[in-house]
Structure 1
Amino acid sequence: VRKERASVTAKNQLSLAFRGPFDWAHMLAFYRLRAIQGLETVDDNSYARHVRLGQGKGWFKATKNSETHLDIEFELESMADLRQLVVK
């Protein structure tokens, strides 16, 4: 009998810097029109999406913090997928 591997999920936050100009409201409007129900969520301030990466599943939520930073809240089954999440 095989034991199922326990899935441990880590909830984390990070801040990503970007170079402007970045029209966050326009981007949210674009994604809102194209959001896939059950996979993506778009509100007035943020974009959230479920993802499947190399080592497992996860989700992220991006919110504009300032004119130069996005706050990213995320959960991943494996932190080995962090680089892949940030690059995408």
Structure 2
Amino acid sequence: MALQLTREQGITLHGSVEIVAKFFSFGINSILYQRGIYPCETFTRLQKYGLTLLVTTNPELIKYLNNMVEQLKDWLYKCSV
């Protein structure tokens, strides 16, 4: 007898917040690169979702963006945006 794992499929607040946060993070990185706000040498290519995305390698910028995305997630969880 095989063990059968079942998982309910559905949209959850947690899953939606995580998706929006990732989209926002990749979007901000793209804007910073395309507008030349940071030098192109500080970005690296990443394959994600069947696309090539550019993300920063600048440690201070990564820290700042992570803090910003965490704040966004907090707002979304509390529905206070």
Please say which structure displays the higher CA radius of gyration.
Answer: 2
Return the structure number with greater strand share: 1
Return the structure number with greater helix share: 2
**What TM-score comes out, normalization by structure 1 length?**
0.26
**What TM-score comes out, normalization by structure 2 length?**
0.27
Instruction: With a CA cutoff of 8 Å and minimum separation of 6, indicate the structure with the bigger relative contact order.
Output: 1
